[in-house]
Amino acid sequence: MTDGTIGKNNAFFRQLLYIGILITIGLVIFTQLQFFVGSFLGAITMYVVLRTVLFRLTERWNWKPWVASLMLVLATTLLLSGLGFLIFEVIASEIPNVDTSKIVDVFNELLRRANHLLGFAIVPENIIKGSGGTITKMASMLLNTTYSFAANVFMMLVILYFMLLHARTMERSANRYLPFRGHSQQVIRSEVKSIIFSNAVGIPLVMFAQAAASFLVYWALGVNNAVFWAFVTAVCGLIPMVGTAIVTVPMGVYMIFDDSVWMGIIMIACGILIVANVDNLCRIILMKKISNTHPLIVIFGVILGIPLFGFWGIIFGPLLISAFLLLIRIYYKEYRLLPPSES
C-alpha cells in the first residue's frame, strides 16, 4: 500500500471520527434540550409565516430590525395568549361539568336491543359501560400535555426574536450549509413554505372554523357544555373520512332516543351538511396558501406529535412527517436516483 493511499485512508477515518464526535455531542444536546424542541419548531414556523412582513417593514419602510422584530414578537404573544386563555380558562373549566352518563345509558340500551335482535354481542357491554368518561379523559389528557405551554411559548418567542433580528444573515448561513444546490434549494424553499402554511396555518384555521360552526349548532339546539363539545368536534375533525361525524351523529342519535326527534334529526343534518364541510370551504377560500395535505399525514402526524410536543403536536406532527417526505423526494432528485421521466 502506497503512502498516498495510507494518507487517504487516514483522512477518511479522521473524517468518520469527526462525524461520530459531532453526532454524539448533538445527541447529548438534543437529549438535554428535548423539552424545547417544540419551541424551536414553533420559532421556525412563525419565522416562515412572518418573514415577508419583516422584510417589508425593514427593507421597504426602513424600520430598524429590532423594532420590527419586537413588534412582530409582541403580536405573536397576543395571539398565543388568546389561544392559551381559550384552551385553559374556557375549555378546561368545562371538563368537570361534562356529564356523559345519559349518552352512555342510551347507547347501552341500543346495544342491548341490537344484541337481543341478532342473538350475539356486537360490542361487549363492559366496553360501553367503561367508556362513560373516555371522552373527558382524552380531552383532559390532551389539555394536560399543554401545562408546559407557557415555558415552550416563552422560549419560542425568545428564539423567534433573534431569528427575526438576524434574518438575512441566518438565511445566508443556512443556504451555505445546506447539502442541496441550485434548483433543489428553490424547490425546498417553496415546498417548505407550502408545507408550513398548510400545517401550521391551515390545520389550526380549519379546527377553529369547525369548532365555531359546531358551537353555533350546539348552542342553537341547547346542548349543554357547548364549548367543550365544540373543542372535541374540532379535534375529531382531524380524523380522515369520519371526522366531525364521530361527535355530531352520536349526539343526534342520543337526542332522537331522548324524545327530541326533530332536534336529533336537525343535529345530524347540520353535522353532515354544515360542520363536516367547513374543511372544504376553508380550503376553497385559502386555495392559494394551503396545499392539500393528505389526510393520513394529518392523522399519523397528530398521533406522532402529541406525545412528542403536547398540544403543539397537532401542528408539528403533520409538519414533521411532511418535511420528512419532502427531504426524501429532494434526496432522490438531487442525487439523480430517479429516471429522468420521474424526476
Delimit the domains of the chain by residue range.
34-177, 187-343
For 289-315, what is the mean pLDDT?
Answer: 73
Could you give the angle at the alpha carbon of 205 between the alpha carbons of 200 and 211, nearest 5°?
A: 135
Q: Is the pLDDT of residue 212 over 80?
A: yes
**Contact indicator for 115, 121 with CB cutoff of 8 Å:** yes
The better pLDDT of the pair 127, 274 is held by: 274
For 195-205, what is the mean pLDDT?
Answer: 76
Q: Is the pLDDT of residue 64 over 80?
A: yes
Q: In the prediction, which pLDDT does 134 show?
A: 56
Mean pLDDT, rounded, of the chain: 77
**Contacting residues for 333 by C-beta, under 8 A, at least 6 apart:** 184, 187, 343
Q: In the prediction, which pLDDT does 104 show?
A: 64
Q: In the prediction, which pLDDT does 70 show?
A: 95
Q: In the prediction, which pLDDT does 343 show?
A: 53
Q: Is the pLDDT of residue 49 over 80?
A: yes
Q: Is the pLDDT of residue 146 over 70?
A: no
Q: Is the pLDDT of residue 299 over 90?
A: no
% of residues, the chain, pLDDT over 70: 71
Name residue, grid cell 424526476.
343
Return the C-alpha cell found at 301: 402526524
Q: Is the pLDDT of residue 96 over 70?
A: no
Of the CA atoms within 13 Å of residue 308, those in its CB half-sphere come to: 21
